A = this chain, B = another copy of it.
């Protein structure tokens, strides 16, 4: 058996990424054997080398796919929330956190990749992350136009905003003493506190204390 017949042809690149993400979640670790991916796809390990330079390239592809999925989820919320930038900031953050907590290993691959992935060597790899950030900045800019964060340096606040949520999500993912619900509550509490602070700067529609 060598080259497969047309009927059995399978879209290895796409399926490999898909299965890698699935195995990443299943094993909770980046150390997924290429052999396991190949088996899940239905080919042998060397066959993957026809589509990816090496294992790192496959993980990079999975990472990019992760950014794509995260962007899509955030973008869906964005579309749904047109006209309510404050609501977008809140629900977009929830969506972000939910994605992270539901795909912890993929999230770790996206934001704490092992340096050997050579992520920074590839100009495309940070591009997806930048898109996610730009979505946040758009939300902040709109919020500012609606009276929130008057006079604030959005670049600066945007990074702080992202840092807070990324930090909360990371710490909660890492803390294995908490179950899923507890992680979510803890993360949501941080997001809510953040939103309260922003609300406090706004046109006084949202009261500071409940």
Tally A residues with Cβ within 8 Å of B: 38
In the complex, whether A4 has a CB less than 8 A from a CB of chain B is no
Known: A120-B176, A120-B177, A190-B159. A114 touches B167 (CB 8 A): no
Tell me if B170 and A168 are in contact (CB < 8 A).
Answer: no
In the complex, whether A37 has a CB less than 8 A from a CB of chain B is no
Question: Within 8 Å CB of A193, what residues of B?
Answer: 156-157, 160
Give the complex CA separation of A111 and B30 in angstroms.
16
User: Least Cβ distance of A114 to chain B in Å?
Assistant: 6
Question: Within 8 Å CB of A175, what residues of B?
Answer: 126
Q: Mark A171-199, 1 if CB is under 8 A from B, else 0.
A: 10011110000000010011001100100
Give the complex CA separation of A137 and B196 in angstroms.
21
In the complex, whether A28 has a CB less than 8 A from a CB of chain B is yes
Question: Within 8 Å CB of A116, what residues of B?
Answer: 29, 31
User: Least Cβ distance of A195 to chain B in Å?
Assistant: 11
User: Least Cβ distance of A3 to chain B in Å?
Assistant: 35
